[in-house]
Amino acid sequence: MKFKIKKEILNENLNNVSKALSNKNIIPILSGIKFELKEEGLYLIATDDDITIQSFIEKENSIEIFELGSIIIPGRYFIDIVRKIPTEEINLETDGLILNITTKTSQYNLNGMHYNDFPERTLELIKSPIVLSSKIIKNIVNQTSFSVSNQESRPILTGINLLINKDLLECVATDSYRLSKKILKLDNKFTDKINIVIPGKNLIELSKILDEKETNVEIHIFSNNILFKFSNILFQSRLLNGTYPDTSKLIKEEHILKITTNLEELYNVIDRASLLTNEKEKNVVKMDVFENELIISSTSLEIGNIEEKMSIEKDSKENIKIAFSSKYMMEALKSFKSEKIDIYLSGEIKPIILKEQENDSLIQLILPIKTF
């Protein structure tokens, strides 16, 4: 393998695949990046056995090829070197299992590994994938992924449940204390029902690579993996095995009280009330709906207490006292972008449901905490 490449372009593509580099040193090959130089250009591939990312650099305008070939290079070291090299072009050449990186004044030799040792990953495509814009996918991930469980005791809850039925796409994440649900209408109707669970952390890595623009992303779903194709990138994630719990019954239509208030103001009030709370005691904050006021309070025997009032609108004369985790409530509130927020209450020990006004596409649910 021997070629000359523009540094900035190599850098950018290394950054894409770096998200799949394993940080664990158990299997050295998984901390490597596979280079495959073909007639059409350079393929970079990395995998940590959970996600696999391929980034392709077209020969045109970026690469001058002298000799085709393949090698696996220690990922982090190579990325650091390329980032810090001051020249605009870099010469890369293999000498057996060594990669020589040369500029006018410098020579770096990195010990590589044989490309045959790299785990085989078939990056298949289907004929009619789902197509969504990168902006929409980023949104779905940001609005749901914080609710996935980080406990390995129930592995299925560490994933996001993706359901497709005809032209309806539904994403659900829950750690069993709270739930996030996003509903989208697709442009096309699908005949097959889809019900899969994608590891939450993998979708967070995906959203880091997706741009803010309206780039089309093809979603290819298989029985044990999902593949996202966009720009010059293939991003594959394994799926979680098992059945995701049916959460549709948790979100009920009836409520005894709906309150409407300013979203940003509510967030800031809860943020201040949470100053005296701590994670060990579940960040408990109390909410007291009394007449046309909301009283948010928290108490720490050791440090003191906080109480703030804000005005609200109500749809009934009911008054309710309820307590919840300020951390969960703040993460849920942050997922909305509207000026006002609707909070549906059904009782002191019933789920709290948050929605934007006249918009059912995003639902956040939080279980209250019993404090009496």
Which residues lie near a copy of itself (CB under 8 A)? 74, 77, 80-81, 84-86, 98-99, 105-111, 268, 271-272, 275-276, 302-310
Contact between residue 235 and residue 166 where contact means Cβ atoms under 8 Å apart: no
Least distance to a copy of itself, CB of residue 143, Å: 25
CB nearer a copy of itself, residue 204 or residue 310: 310
Per-residue burial over 34-50, b = 16 or more CB atoms within 10 Å of its CB, e = otherwise: bbbbeeebbbbbbbbee
Least distance to a copy of itself, CB of residue 354, Å: 22
Cα(233)–Cα(236) distance, integer angstroms: 10
Whose CA is closest to 74, among 41, 49, 50, 101? Answer: 101
Cα(176)–Cα(219) distance, integer angstroms: 28
Least distance to a copy of itself, CB of residue 105, Å: 5
CB nearer a copy of itself, residue 202 or residue 283: 283
How does DSSP classify residue 281? Answer: G
CB nearer a copy of itself, residue 7 or residue 272: 272
CB nearer a copy of itself, residue 212 or residue 302: 302
Length of the chain: 372
Least distance to a copy of itself, CB of residue 309, Å: 5
Q: Give the DSSP H/E element, type plus range, for residue 161.
A: strand 159-174
Cα(105)–Cα(115) distance, integer angstroms: 29
Least distance to a copy of itself, CB of residue 299, Å: 9
Least distance to a copy of itself, CB of residue 108, Å: 5
CB nearer a copy of itself, residue 64 or residue 117: 117
CB nearer a copy of itself, residue 29 or residue 156: 29
CB nearer a copy of itself, residue 61 or residue 107: 107
CB nearer a copy of itself, residue 157 or residue 294: 294
Cα(179)–Cα(171) distance, integer angstroms: 10
Structure-derived torsion over alpha carbons of residues 187, 164, 49, 137, reported in degrees to the nearest 10 = 40
Cα(23)–Cα(45) distance, integer angstroms: 16
CB nearer a copy of itself, residue 10 or residue 99: 99
Least distance to a copy of itself, CB of residue 98, Å: 7
Least distance to a copy of itself, CB of residue 13, Å: 20
Which burial class, exposed, middle or buried, applies to 13 when counting CB atoms under 10 A from its CB (0-12, 13-18, 19+)?
Answer: buried
CB atoms under 10 Å from CB of 171, counted, come to 22
Assigned token pair, 64: 């001058």
How far is residue 82 from each of residues 8, 90, 108, 151, measured CA to CA in Å? 9, 8, 10, 37
Whose CA is closest to 360, among 251, 197, 221, 281? Answer: 251
Least distance to a copy of itself, CB of residue 253, Å: 34
Assigned token pair, 195: 């019900």
